[in-house]
Structure 1
Amino acid sequence: MVYSSNLFAYTSHNIYTTTLSILSYVKWNTTTPNLCVVDNAAVANQFQQVSKQLKYPYVISSIKLESFTSNNCSAIFFSHTPIATQQQFLNRYSILSFSMNNKDCELGSAFCLVSKLNGDTSFKINLDALTRARVHVDPRVLLLAKNVENDE
């Protein structure tokens, strides 16, 4: 029997609310964590609006991947960066990562979010990538997900 290192969950929230909610379960060493959105100012703007509306204490920045510095970002969000590029980046940097274009979640980001047609979001957790991120995520986030093997 082959076991997956991925967990899977559904939520009735959109990608922005779901990502910010997950971030709220992270133990940060700063009072204002910075979520850096890679190569997509429109997505960064959406995050800024939702974060403000929900009163989350995050700084949301739009960055170019080639100008990334770990001093400026607490977590990183990939919207359309190819999975291979995500993986190469994450092999160099230990950072909490999210992706909205990585349905399988075998490589790349720790949290892979998929928007459903009805606006709901499902997400998978890549436990290997989460471990490499070297941040403490409250186990209650993991309880939101269940082992994919149980559903297959």
Structure 2
Amino acid sequence: MRLLLFWLLLLAPIAAMAAPVFQPAMMPLGSGPDRMAAGAARMTDAILEFTRWPVEKPLVHLCVVGVADHAGQLDEISLSNGARVQVSRLPDPGAATQCDALYIGRMAALDNRRLLTAARGAAVVTIAEADADCRSGAMFCLLFTPQALNFQLNIDAVSRSSVRIDPRVLRLSKGGY
């Protein structure tokens, strides 16, 4: 038994080094005065491209909620299927189901919880701008670095929604859970 334990402990570091290193996809932020906003718009565009609603949408209503630092270029999104994206502020978090997608900035935890509870089970994509740990319950959480942008996918939140996200997104996310 001791000999087996010895060999396991000896070979464990070698097995760990042999495992492939997972490198998540990173999107460059781009240039210009508001690089973060440009990156957030491109990432949001990509997320919406991989989203399928129960009914095809010729107009995707994207609502911005809370204090969003990087939402300044969301109105420049255009989807490849010809659908237009209309961006507006959501004055009442209880009206989340009036939107096809929510871009969530900083907000009080209780308001955030109410918003995501209202969106749960509905055909609403939720994207959190300021939740690096991805614990709010949003489907996607944007992860900003000085040179690039990535996202984390909350599989539980996706599975509770009536929208469908292309499975290839799983491969692009940073440690989806």
Normalising by structure 2, what TM-score? 0.66
Which residue of structure 2 lines up, in the alignment, with residue 122 of structure 1?
150
Which residue of structure 1 lines up, in the alignment, with residue 65 of structure 2?
38
Q: Which moved more, 1:14-23 or 1:92-101?
A: 92-101
1:2-151 maps to which residues of 2 (within 5 A)? Answer: 9-13=25-29, 14-28=39-53, 29=55, 30-40=57-67, 44-48=71-75, 50-51=76-77, 57-66=84-93, 68-70=95-97, 72-94=98-120, 95-118=124-147, 120-145=148-173, 147=175
CA contact (8 A) 1:83 1:102 kept: no
Q: Identical aligned pairs, as a percentage?
A: 25
SS of residue paired to 1:58: strand
Deviations 1:45-98 (A, max 9, x none): 4211x315988621111122446251x300111111245532332223223200
Distance 1:41 1:64, change over 3 A: farther
CA contact (8 A) 1:39 1:65 kept: no
Bigger relative contact order (CA 8 A; separation at least 6)? 1
Which residue of structure 1 lines up, in the alignment, with residue 20 of structure 2?
none
Larger strand percent: 1
Task: Give the count of matched residue pairs.
Answer: 139
CA contact (8 A) 1:16 1:46 kept: yes
Name which one, 1 or 2, has greater alpha-carbon Rg: 2
2: CA distance between counterparts of 1:138 and 1:53?
A: 15
1: CA distance between counterparts of 2:153 and 2:112?
A: 15
Q: Structure 1 regions of 5+ residues with no counterpart?
A: 1-7
* Two-structure CA RMSD over aligned residues (Å): 2.9
Normalising by structure 1, what TM-score? 0.75
